[in-house]
A and B are shown apart, each in its own frame.
Chain A
C-alpha cells in the first residue's frame, strides 16, 4: 500500500525555472494539502483541496499554483522559481469528513527543493 507518494524527492533548480511537484494518494481521500517546511517556521500551508476540481489558498500561496484534476493527484507548480522557495515540501491527504471524525493527515516523505 503506497499511501502518499511525492515525486521528485529531490530537485535543484535555477532561478526562473519552472517545475511541478506531483502528489499521488491511493487511499481515495477527498482532502489534499501542500505544505512547505522551513527551519524555525514549522509547516506552512501553501494550497489545499477539498475535492476533485477544487483548490483553495493557504497561508503562503504566492508563487505557487495547484491543480486537482484527478481525485488521487494534487500537483504543485512553481512557474518561476526563486531562492526563497528553497524548502522541503510535504503533501498530505485525509479522508472525507462526513460521518467520520476528520483530521488524521497521511503525509508523503517530503520533497527537497533547492533554488540557486
Chain B
C-alpha cells in the first residue's frame, strides 16, 4: 500500500523569505501523480501544484516549485517570497495511476510572520 509522510507538523517563515516543506512517499508503482494542496482556515482545499511522475522536470507555479526526486521518493514544496496569505495547512498527496486512489499526508502547518 502507498503511504505519504510529512515529517514537519509545523513550520514558520518570515514574510518575503523562502521555506521548504518536506514530503516523502512509499510506493511500488512507477506511474503516479503527486500534489500539494493548501487548506487555509476557511477549510477550503486549494490545489497548489502537481507533478507527473514520468516528468523529470520539476513543476513550477509562480512562487511555488517542487523538488521531485523519484528515486528517493521525495517531493518537497518550496515557497519563495512568502506572503501572509500563504499561512495554511499544506498537504502532500499521491494518486495512483493504476487504481486512482488518492491519499494524503498528515499535513504541515505553515505560519508566516511579518
Contact = CB atoms under 8 A, between A and B. Distances in A.
Mutual binders A and B: yes
Contact of B43 (A56, A88, A103): A88
Interface residues of A, number: 27
Contacts of B100: 31, 48, 50, 97, 102
Interface residues of B, number: 22
Given A40-B9, A103-B33, A103-B95, A45 B45 contact: no
Interface in B70-114: 91, 95, 99-107
18 contacts: A31-B100, A43-B91, A43-B104, A44-B103, A44-B104, A45-B101, A48-B100, A58-B103, A59-B103, A88-B43, A92-B45, A97-B100, A101-B33, A101-B52, A102-B33, A102-B100, A103-B50, A105-B102
